[in-house]
Structure 1
Amino acid sequence: MLNGSDLYALDIDSASFRQACGGPCTEGCVTLARIGDNAWALGDSKRPDAQPLRFTTEELDAAGIDPTRFGLDV
């Protein structure tokens, strides 16, 4: 099982982030990328220079975030 240290040790330089919006995308959207097996990076398009947060699949599920909404497979 990955922990916080493991998640933040993963390289995300080549991660392909996908965007999903809850409404008009004029104010920014949530971005999500798979960064490893059972590992995800969640960013904010309004703050592209901010370090994305890292989560396991279980943590995304508990937060109600569905990767398929971003066009990503679980």
Structure 2
Amino acid sequence: MKIVLSFIIGIAVGAAAALMFAPSSGEDLRAKMHAEADARTQKFHADWQKGMDGMHARMDKMQADISQMRHKDTPEA
């Protein structure tokens, strides 16, 4: 686990260093970083919503299945 964490930290530091030494103005760099952060945030929210929708659909199906099993097991009078 330490190796993976070290690798991820190394990638982040390397990416930050590459951005800082890139031949563009600070304003351009900040604009690019802001745009990239916005894009990643939007993707995260879309992925999160997709996952939540799937989870809710599975929960609804389980509740319907449980309800159906309960009605099946109920003795008829």
In terms of fraction of residues, the more strand-rich structure is: 1
- Fold in common (TM above 0.5): no
Larger Rg computed on CA atoms: 2
The alignment's TM-score, normalised by the length of structure 1, stands at: 0.23
More RCO (CA 8 Å, sep 6+):
1
